[in-house]
Structure 1
């Protein structure tokens, strides 16, 4: 089995959309325009490819964006720097093979050299004890709960401290930035009228 974790490409979007909307109640549905928003703005948007087939994806965003998610907004109001995991989806055929942990290791590696905190939420309605346990064993702690909108589900807001960040900040970020190596590169994306977006890409092979 050949597995690659790589940055999303435009030709993946139809498959990503179908996979997201087949995931069930635990994942909020997407339409093409919202997925396009993620494609153009998400700081982390990677897919898992197994033997040429799309097996899953994870989308995460840093602070400072205009994303309207109430959960992202909660973290933006409480923390100055963070990476927020918006969603992770694994195709049914590839569940229970550790792919979720591989994604979380990868996004952790991305986040810990950029921010002091990795964040996300889990649904409490319906509650999934396996998902709650997964995040707890991965070092996330509940920092609050809230309801998504007036009639949305109750969620647990989770955060994980990234102790490596202080070393990276003091050694590199405050002295010229990260080394120019592929595994530290930002994903390739273009956002209109934003000159600060770098166009770098890399492929990861666990």
Structure 2
């Protein structure tokens, strides 16, 4: 019954595409080409397994990446700090409420706080988003604005969570984290984390 969070495997992309496009109106649909671009460029692309089955996935990009979503650009324009952006998290409908989302957020925060001062994401305001907004609020996210996504005409609540461990980690280790096995590395081909000067 345990949840395992691990890097995506290329042969899983078709299953991830189906999972994404069955998630309902709170998740934007994907096509195979865009999912492939995520696979090739995302700094963080991990899946959850429960009982040996795919239970969900999370895709994230550092603020120094060339990610092209309008929400990512909004954070770039409105953020004074570097940030790590959660583009999407999808949990299989049969697994919702079973801790998969919390396991993902614990994992992505552990990754991001070593490299970025802020975690950023959005939740759609429409489509009965109260459970998602409550989930993010209980995880320490705060709304810093709203943005209407021009490509789909959907309003998003733009959320950030300051990562309090980042300042200590950056002060102690700078841009060179220790070479220890448990420390999750950026995926191959992903851009390195942007480090703001003076922090």
Q: TM-score, normalised by structure 1?
A: 0.88
Moved over 6 A (4+): none
Work out whether residues 71 and 148 of structure 1, in 8 Å CA contact, stay in contact via their aligned partners in 2.
yes
Work out whether residues 141 and 159 of structure 1, in 8 Å CA contact, stay in contact via their aligned partners in 2.
yes
Higher mean alpha-carbon deviation, 63-72 vs 158-167, is at 63-72
Runs of 5+ in structure 2 lacking a partner? 194-199
Higher mean alpha-carbon deviation, 142-151 vs 87-96, is at 142-151
The one-character-per-residue Cα deviations of 1:5-53 (angstroms, maximum 9, x if unpaired) are 1001101111111100000100000001100111011111100012221
Other structure's SS at 2:182 match: helix
Work out whether residues 43 and 186 of structure 1, in 8 Å CA contact, stay in contact via their aligned partners in 2.
no
The one-character-per-residue Cα deviations of 1:41-87 (angstroms, maximum 9, x if unpaired) are 11111000122211101111101222221110011122241100111
Distance 2:164 2:131 in 1: 26
Distance 1:185 1:151 in 2: 34
Q: 1:183 maps to which residue? A: 182
The reply to whether residue 59 of structure 1 matches residue 59 of structure 2 is yes
Q: 1:102 maps to which residue? A: 103
Q: TM-score, normalised by structure 2?
A: 0.91
* Compared CA separation, residues 123 and 180, structure 1 to 2 (3 A): same
Q: 2:196 maps to which residue? A: none
The one-character-per-residue Cα deviations of 1:157-200 (angstroms, maximum 9, x if unpaired) are 000000110000000125xx111123323244347xx8x69xxx
The one-character-per-residue Cα deviations of 1:137-165 (angstroms, maximum 9, x if unpaired) are 11101111010006511111000000110
Q: 1:125 maps to which residue? A: 126
* Compared CA separation, residues 109 and 171, structure 1 to 2 (3 A): same
Distance 2:64 2:128 in 1: 30
* Compared CA separation, residues 24 and 150, structure 1 to 2 (3 A): closer
The reply to whether residue 142 of structure 1 matches residue 150 of structure 2 is no
Give the drift of 1:127.
3.5
Distance 2:33 2:61 in 1: 17
